[in-house]
Structure 1
Amino acid sequence: MSNENHESLGSIESIELGIIEGFFGQPWSWEERERVCETLASQGYGFYLYAPKADPFLRRRWMEPHPPETSQALTSFGQFCRARGMRFGIGLSPFEAYRNFDQRVRDALAAKLEAFDELGIDDLALLFDDMRGDIPELADRQVEIIHWVKARTSASRVMVCPSYYSDDPVLDRVFGQRPEGYLERLGELLDPAVEVFWTGEEVCSREFSPGHLERVSRQLRRKPLLWDNYPVNDGPRMSQFLHLRGFTGRPVANGDWVSGHGINPALQPTLSCIPALTLAQSYRQGTAYQYGGAFMQAARKVLGAELAEALASDLLIFQDGGLGRLAEDSKQKLIARYKAFNHPGAREIVRWLNGEYTVTGEEVQTQ
């Protein structure tokens, strides 16, 4: 084994990769989640965070308990993950609890934490995204809640997504101007053991650089936990595309400046495994990584050789052209082509071509 390979293998061992099911639109089935876990658990992925936007009992109706059948499914899936060496966690969005953290909110939050403890979660994420944040004492209020929760949960790791989780000015336009020094104040007050999610210079960052991550580490007084919004394809615009190519713009040198790297997958669970596998390979191979070759290797592993070759030949249509540029006769030919394959990945392509994965603006506003 060469020195270069030895060093790159050490990189993947020191960086925990994870799946963050945090997209808008139709959530995965339990069978699909198990299949993703089964595929990625042996490839360097160490945690699965359940936080689909479509689960109302984690978001708009967070004060209400999950239905018994959902709680049972969560318990079973957590056991499935742990049996394969993956931590299991849940992401909770206590909508604007920081505006009035009164006894009613505390009682509801305590009940939620008790329910999560019964599920046996390893990780608990408090997600303050998708909420107004233009109040001066935002960091102070959120830290109060985080520490209150940390003292009462049995989860061995607590994570938090700040209201302003990126440099991207779109967050200020949508959720109000971020308070001056918000990240610095959050980092100053927050228990050093709490992990902080960060999506980079943009909400959907095209790349992460060591220089950027070093700066964020100084602001937060800890290395950020990457919430990487690739290959996610939710929303009215992005759901018109399949994000399939291998990861780029994530150099192995980032490993010195992150506590972990979680990816928000696409609406298509099987197809999401293709880029997910390339991320693990990029950390293993370091500067020797080639995203085109990594894509083909991952596609063959997930889909088999024949279907992988078909996908590669249509990659420009799926990832760059999208449904909006696809003529009806061309679409029907593609549907016929992929219907010929008896494979869940092919069925996901057919469903996408039929518009079954389209996410509406209403879903984004209401989930």
Structure 2
Amino acid sequence: MAVELGVIEGFYGPMWSWAERRRLLKTLAMHGYGFYLYAPKADPYLRRRWQESHPAEELNELVEFARLCQHQGVRFGVGLSPFEIFNHFNDAAREALASKLKVLDRIGVQELAILFDDMRPETTSLAGTQAEILRWVKAHSGATTFSMCPTYYSDDPVLDRVFGERPADYLETLGAELDNDVRVFWTGEEVCSREISPGHLKRVGDRLGRKPVLWDNYPVNDGDRMSRHLHLRGFTGRPAANAAYLAGHAINPALQPVLTAIPALTLAESYRLGPDYQYGQAFEHAARELLGDELASQIRRDILSLQDAGLWRLSEERREALAHTYDAYDHPAASEIMRWLAGDYQVTDEMVQTQ
């Protein structure tokens, strides 16, 4: 059974250029990825300053990207995080939201995702209010597909510690009150799940009354700790049998858009091969296709340093040696490794708290 694959550009930290975004889109479209949601946490006009419009130049880029998606046969969407709107969904909030939705319609948004993640609720009827917001959005948007991310998007108790204890029967209430065609994102048993199993997805689907869309937090590497590691290996812990319990599977990509395509291609291979999938072989296939034999072999030799050790545990001598090695390659993937070694992709706690 096949499952629709997609990208949710939903990480914290430095944003990609539009050229980087276009390159990744074209690569993944060729390998069966069917939707792309633009939702970087660093875009303030989708999150903390959502009531303001993007500058004209950024709007033009979004329009052009939407057209490219259409040309590539990929559904284009935007993830809008109207910051903590569920605490005060009043007339003023509705008026601002209506204005924002008109702008998104003009851009050419096909899928509109309303993202309630990483916000602290104060209302006593969280699920009901969020379902009400989705119904209102559907009535005022020209999008054809609607999705949402719950405030509690995982079983992970870290969400309760950071955002307050989740309401009883939150998922059941959300599933009962949302329209049946609204897609619901879920990250698994943890925010960054090591493994996602059919049994877990079936339980979540039963609670929601619909199959969830997996928001997979691999290969994302934002945050102070993760940004010190490159996530390059092929996907593991996502058996192809999950497809029976999913409405879609979207990856949250790494901060490095060229390198992120390596694991992205292995996910497609995982679903294609099913029980015959081998993550090491899949890495080899993807890396050689994207980077060429020589650079792919070099990264394979260095993967313990790049992914496992990370910048914290690399000696200055080892970092200098790696920089010397990758400086010899004229390839954007090597450039990303060079930038990572220089600390250009470091995500601070302040970024996470303010974006």
Deviations 1:120-177 (A, max 9, x none): 1110000001111364310011111110001111110000000000000000000000
Which residue of structure 2 lines up, in the alignment, with residue 3 of structure 1? none
Tell me how far apart the structure 2 counterparts of residues 99 and 324 of structure 1 sit (CA, whole Å).
Answer: 40
Of 336, 344, 349 in structure 1, the residue corresponding to residue 324 of structure 2 is 336
Tell me how far apart the structure 1 counterparts of residues 48 and 340 of structure 2 sit (CA, whole Å).
Answer: 28
Of 180, 188, 197 in structure 2, the residue corresponding to residue 200 of structure 1 is 188
Tell me how far apart the structure 1 counterparts of residues 324 and 76 of structure 2 sit (CA, whole Å).
Answer: 38
Deviation at 1:100, TM superposition (A): 1.2
Letter in 2 for 1:242: L
Which residue of structure 1 lines up, in the alignment, with residue 86 of structure 2? 98
Structure 1's 134 and 206: CA in aligned 2 closer, same or farther, altered over 3 A? farther
Letter in 2 for 1:265: P
What is the SS of the residue equivalent to 1:219? helix
Deviations 1:88-134 (A, max 9, x none): 10000011111111111111100100000000111000000111136
Tell whether the 8 Å contact from 1:134 to 1:175 is kept in structure 2 after alignment. Answer: no
- The root-mean-square deviation of aligned C-alpha atoms, in Å, is 0.7
Tell me how far apart the structure 2 counterparts of residues 290 and 135 of structure 1 sit (CA, whole Å).
Answer: 47
Tell whether the 8 Å contact from 2:86 to 2:121 is kept in structure 1 after alignment. Answer: no
Tell me how far apart the structure 2 counterparts of residues 304 and 136 of structure 1 sit (CA, whole Å).
Answer: 55
Deviations 1:56-91 (A, max 9, x none): 000000011111111100000011111011111000
Tell whether the 8 Å contact from 2:259 to 2:333 is kept in structure 1 after alignment. Answer: yes
Which residue of structure 2 lines up, in the alignment, with residue 326 of structure 1? 314
Tell me how far apart the structure 1 counterparts of residues 48 and 122 of structure 2 sit (CA, whole Å).
Answer: 20
Matching of residues 1-367 of structure 1 within 5 Å: 11=1, 14-133=2-121, 135-367=123-355
Deviation at 1:330, TM superposition (A): 1.0
What is the SS of the residue equivalent to 1:270? coil
Tell me how far apart the structure 2 counterparts of residues 71 and 348 of structure 1 sit (CA, whole Å).
Answer: 27
What is the SS of the residue equivalent to 2:78? strand
Tell me how far apart the structure 2 counterparts of residues 81 and 250 of structure 1 sit (CA, whole Å).
Answer: 27
**Aligned positions, number:** 355
Tell me how far apart the structure 2 counterparts of residues 220 and 94 of structure 1 sit (CA, whole Å).
Answer: 23
What is the SS of the residue equivalent to 1:110? helix
Q: TM-score normalised to the size of structure 2?
A: 0.99
Tell me how far apart the structure 2 counterparts of residues 152 and 176 of structure 1 sit (CA, whole Å).
Answer: 31
Letter in 2 for 1:310: Q
What is the SS of the residue equivalent to 1:61? coil
Stretches of structure 1 lacking an aligned partner (at least 5 in a row): 1-10
Letter in 1 for 2:269: Q
Tell whether the 8 Å contact from 2:86 to 2:123 is kept in structure 1 after alignment. Answer: no
Letter in 1 for 2:29: A
Tell me how far apart the structure 2 counterparts of residues 105 and 94 of structure 1 sit (CA, whole Å).
Answer: 9
Single out whichever of 277-286 and 135-144 deviates more from structure 2.
135-144
Over 6 Å off, 4+ runs? none
Tell whether the 8 Å contact from 1:17 to 1:262 is kept in structure 2 after alignment. Answer: yes
Single out whichever of 94-103 and 209-218 deviates more from structure 2.
94-103
Tell me how far apart the structure 2 counterparts of residues 49 and 344 of structure 1 sit (CA, whole Å).
Answer: 23
Tell me how far apart the structure 2 counterparts of residues 212 and 320 of structure 1 sit (CA, whole Å).
Answer: 27
Tell me how far apart the structure 1 counterparts of residues 229 and 322 of structure 2 sit (CA, whole Å).
Answer: 15
Tell whether the 8 Å contact from 1:133 to 1:178 is kept in structure 2 after alignment. Answer: no
Tell whether the 8 Å contact from 1:232 to 1:266 is kept in structure 2 after alignment. Answer: yes
Tell whether the 8 Å contact from 2:87 to 2:122 is kept in structure 1 after alignment. Answer: no
Letter in 1 for 2:160: D
Letter in 2 for 1:18: G
Deviations 1:292-347 (A, max 9, x none): 00001100111111000000000001111000111111101110100100000000
Letter in 2 for 1:172: D
Tell me how far apart the structure 2 counterparts of residues 351 and 364 of structure 1 sit (CA, whole Å).
Answer: 20
What is the SS of the residue equivalent to 1:111? helix
Tell me how far apart the structure 2 counterparts of residues 135 and 111 of structure 1 sit (CA, whole Å).
Answer: 24
Tell me how far apart the structure 1 counterparts of residues 74 and 173 of structure 2 sit (CA, whole Å).
Answer: 32
Single out whichever of 146-155 and 132-141 deviates more from structure 2.
132-141
Letter in 2 for 1:255: A
Tell me how far apart the structure 1 counterparts of residues 244 and 118 of structure 2 sit (CA, whole Å).
Answer: 29
